[in-house]
């Protein structure tokens, strides 16, 4: 109950200060540019990496990217840029 109240207060402060949700929480932000680039912010780790399949762990689930000629172009502790021919994306939520 106390945790829920704290989350509501944090949300209100973020709204007042106009802070984007992806900055104040661990929720991933996924930006897709056409069918050849994908930027993932707030990821946890790379679970599996192959030229045709990449699995990324986020704080709210697992992101599966399917395609071919997939590459991890740029990586930081917070951001990940994937390039290649992206065919499909699916998301497994954590229960």
CATH number of residue 46's parent domain = 2.60.40.2000
Classify residue 7: in a domain, yes or no: no
Classify residue 6: in a domain, yes or no: no
Task: Find the domain containing 49 and state its range.
Answer: 26-93
Phi and psi at residue 23, to the nearest 5°: -85, -40
Position 15 scores a pLDDT of: 61
What does the angle CA 41 – CA 66 – CA 88 come to, to the nearest 5 degrees?
A: 85
With a CB cutoff of 8 Å and minimum separation 6, the contacts of 51 are 68, 69, 70, 71, 84
Position 79 scores a pLDDT of: 92
Q: Which residues, listed in sequence order, are joined to residue 70 by a DSSP beta bridge?
A: none
Position 27 scores a pLDDT of: 85
The Cβ of residue 43 has, within 10 Å, a number of other Cβ atoms equal to 21
Does 65 or 27 have the greater pLDDT score? 65
Report, as an integer, the average pLDDT of 77-91.
94
pLDDT tens sequence across 10-47: 556 556 666 555 555 678 889 999 999 999 998 999 99
Max CA pair span of the chain: 47
Classify residue 73: in a domain, yes or no: yes
């Amino acid at each position: 109950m106390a945790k829920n109240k704290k989350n509501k207060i944090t949300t209100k402060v973020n709204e007042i200060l106009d802070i984007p949700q992806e900055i104040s929480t661990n929720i991933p932000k996924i930006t897709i540019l056409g069918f050849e680039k994908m930027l993932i912010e707030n990821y946890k780790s790379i679970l599996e990496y192959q030229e045709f399949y990449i699995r990324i762990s986020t704080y709210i689930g697992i992101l599966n990217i399917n395609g071919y000629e997939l590459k991890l172009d740029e990586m930081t502790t917070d951001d990940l840029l994937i390039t290649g021919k992206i065919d499909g994306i699916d998301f497994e939520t954590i229960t």
